[in-house]
A and B are shown apart, each in its own frame.
Chain A
Amino acid sequence: MGDFFEYLKSEWSFASAHPELAFAILVIGYGILMIGFFAAFAGPVTWIERRVAGRMQCRIGPNRVGPQGFLQWLADGMKNFLKEDLIPNDADRILFRLAVYPVFAGVFLTFVVLPFGPWIVGADLDVGIVYLLAVTALVVTGIIMSGWASNSKWALLGGIRSAAQMVSYEVAAGMALLTAIIPGGSLSLQGIIEHQGGWPWQWLVFFSPATFVAFFVYFVASLAEGNRTPFDLPEAESELVSGYNTEYSGMRFLFFAFAEWGNLYVIGAVITAVFLGGWRIPGVDLATQTNNLWLQLLGAAIFIAKASILVSVTIWLRWTLPRLRVDQLMMMCWKYFVPIGIGLVVFSLVWQLVAAAVPTWVTGAVSVLLTLAGAALVAGMFWRAWYNIRSGKDTPVYKWLI
């Protein structure tokens, strides 16, 4: 943002004449842009999720509003805005009304540091990752508030589950991030991205065995933090009715859902930035990309594409897997993920020393090998899916049903 402002000042006389005013316009404009992006991402993702779920479950999914039902999310939003904002009797009215704001703010504030390009970022904070962990913790506050204020035991159980889950997995997620920060050499998301390259073997996920494992640890931990299946215990429909948001209706309910789906993008974006090379374009060096606005926009598209792939993986997981139990969830975190995370941090530190001592081709070879391993993993997944489709095709078809 700062660099972009400098660029504006040199190109645009108004900006150099009234720098404060121009900066205010720039910041507000960017804020509005981000809210727009957030809405334009979270909304259609609900539609995509429901269509994908429909396909997976041999149903059709929403297909009435707009082409292929694309405007369903707008219709749902309108419906929820028109609904009565109900507050249950004996609920803590102030907390009940307040609870949605921390949840929404916690998710939305991450957009301050989430980058789209060298210049396209709210603020390149030096402590970007710490800031990220801090603001996402706001979500917990909101969820506990909603669980407590609803005056419903189901909501309370959901809120408490959520608190335990998110606080625990924050530790595991922090460890996994730290593993990547060590070779990345920076706490700023931009710094980490600039450290990586455009090609897969230049990404941090393939830098060392530790970061390779940390990628998976962070992905699972962030699913748990985002309350996604198989870790959707706080809103486990079959157990807790709807969890912490059971008593909410109308617009307030919408904001919980909005934050949840927006959070999907945040999960994908953080992983993309830290592990998957962020906005770097393969074969283009940093200076060229920074000095060309079009390349910056291309980088932003690459960034969003990478994040969207991760979002689709989370959607796919949600409609495939059952849900863990509370104690199993906690056991997984404290007995496996946290020790593994600590081990990864130590391993990562040792790797730094080793990498400094051995010739560069050795670390390069490790990166290439890890890239191949990752490619094999993805290929195996596709082969498996193809096998399942094939084995389904070989079965006799119901001609008489049509």
Chain B
Amino acid sequence: MDSTQSKQSVSDDLMILNMGPQHPSTHGVIRFIITGDGEVMQRAVPHVGYLHRGIEKLAEGMPYPSFVPFTDRVDYLAAMFANHGYALAVERLLGLEVPRRAEYLRVIVSELNRIASHLIGVGAMAMDIGAFTPFLHGIREREKLNDIIEELCGARLTYNYVRVGGVAFDIPAGLDRKILSFLDTFEPLMEEFNRLITVNEILVKRCANVAIIDAETAKSYGLVGPNLRGSGVDWDLRRDLPYSAYPEFDFKVCVGRGVRGTLGDAYDRFVVRVEEMMESVKILRQALAGIPEGDIMAKVPRKLKPPKGEAYAAVESARGELGYHVISDGKDKPYRVKIRAGSFTATSIIEHASKGLMIADLVVLIASLDVIAPEIDR
């Protein structure tokens, strides 16, 4: 619905408020048209497209491997997943077998990246509720993760690490110990984080029973990842549609339980992310202990020319299912690449979920869905 329609459909008693594209808590360049009676909203209509860079179209003009750096820009907070999903789709197209060491490395970087992304997710949510300190504690931990990944692949944000057929670099000597020492400090620090904010009564009051999304609605809007699990749907691609080395690890899929309010409220989504970080720590420990020797790159021809056909591959990104649909017409460039991003569907539910909320709750809703603007628009 565009703004002209929404203007006609409201009576004069309601106030139309424009939130964004430059607003502190829209998490990027998104705009919301809020129709409301003072503080109470009737609905908030998201307007997306401010960050559309035509990444999918760009893919059609370049050889398969050249597109990997562009996928970094799909989700700059969790670029490993974006790399990984694309590589997985092209590998399926080619029928390529990836060495096990590379699969383990992919899992390790993915889980490190998941922790980094969730730290920003929960931290930014706390910040939107007014607690600035937990956010910076999260940033501090993420900085250490950035250092680790920088040592691994030379980049802190746009990694370009997972390539078609494997990964770009092997793990340098001593980095595994650094990762383990990070994990050793991370667990008590999460304990502190939880004491500081997760169980804080004001945060609980602000999030519990706010913006409830029940399981049916979540499914019908196509929510994925922590948002879907926050609504009580037990669905995780790592376990249910296994890829990479995930079947070899023992981890729990964290599902919302309505801990302090109703199932599917903002607090559940917050808690699911906090718990998922601890599960990632578990996976990382197992992966570092059991990483096999071997190649990190499969034998990939210099010029990739997949046979005619199409492939879809999805990874469980920090924001849920991040899927790549790649169609090949037999040439060295993809015929079409379609990216299915979790933030896009999460944005679409905002109009539905924001009915009757207050403006302060809209901020909580956006933050609890952990939407990120470049992933919405691509």
Contacts and interface: CB of A to CB of B under 8 A. Distances in A.
Contacts of B18: 153
Max count, chain B CB within 10 A of own CB: residue among A157, A238, A328: A238
A157 B128 CA distance: 17
Nearest to B188: A395
A238 B362 CA distance: 11
Contacts of B131: 320-323
A360 interface: no
B363 A323 contact: no
Q: What size tier do the contact residues of chain B reach?
A: 35 or more
B140 to A, nearest CB: 5
Contacts of A392: 188, 192
Contacts of B182: 398
B189 A395 contact: yes
Nearest to B25: A238
Contact of B130 (A238, A395, A396): A238
Interface string A314-354: 00000111111111100000000000000000000000000
A50 to B, nearest CB: 12
B265 interface: no
Interface residues of A, number: 40
A396 B189 CA distance: 11
Contact of A58 (B17, B128, B140, B202): B140
A322 B126 contact: yes
A401 B144 contact: yes
A319 B202 contact: no
B136 A59 contact: yes
B185 A157 contact: no
A361 interface: no
Contact of A56 (B39, B126, B133, B361): B133
A324 B189 CA distance: 25
A388 interface: yes
Interface of B, secondary structure class, is helix
A58 B192 contact: no
B52 interface: no
Given A320-B196, A327-B358, A238 B137 contact: no
Given A58-B136, A59-B136, A400-B178, A321 B130 contact: yes
Contact of A238 (B15, B133, B195, B363): B363
Interface in B287-317: none
A321 B363 CA distance: 17
A377 interface: no
Nearest to B131: A322
A401 B205 CA distance: 38
A60 to B, nearest CB: 12
B151 to A, nearest CB: 10
B127 interface: yes
Interface string A360-402: 0000000000000000000000000000100110111110110
Nearest to B17: A153
A199 to B, nearest CB: 35
Contacts of A59: 136
A236 interface: yes
A89 to B, nearest CB: 16
A376 to B, nearest CB: 21
A323 B131 CA distance: 7
Contact of A232 (B130, B192, B195, B206): B130
Top 6 nearest A-B pairs (CB, nearest first) are A323-B130, A57-B136, A322-B131, A238-B25, A322-B129, A238-B128
Given A59-B136, A320-B133, A321-B200, 20 more contacts: A153-B15, A157-B38, A230-B130, A232-B130, A238-B130, A239-B128, A320-B131, A320-B196, A322-B126, A322-B129, A322-B131, A324-B206, A326-B360, A388-B192, A391-B191, A395-B188, A396-B181, A397-B185, A400-B178, A401-B147
Interface of B: 15, 17-18, 23-25, 38-39, 126-133, 136-137, 140, 144, 147, 178, 181-182, 184-185, 188-189, 191-192, 195-197, 200, 202-203, 205-206, 358-361, 363
24 contacts: A53-B133, A57-B133, A57-B137, A58-B136, A237-B24, A239-B128, A239-B363, A319-B132, A319-B133, A321-B130, A322-B130, A322-B131, A322-B197, A326-B358, A326-B360, A327-B358, A388-B192, A391-B188, A391-B191, A392-B192, A395-B184, A395-B185, A395-B188, A395-B189
Interface of A: 53, 56-59, 153-154, 157, 160-161, 229-230, 232-233, 236-241, 319-328, 388, 391-392, 394-398, 400-401
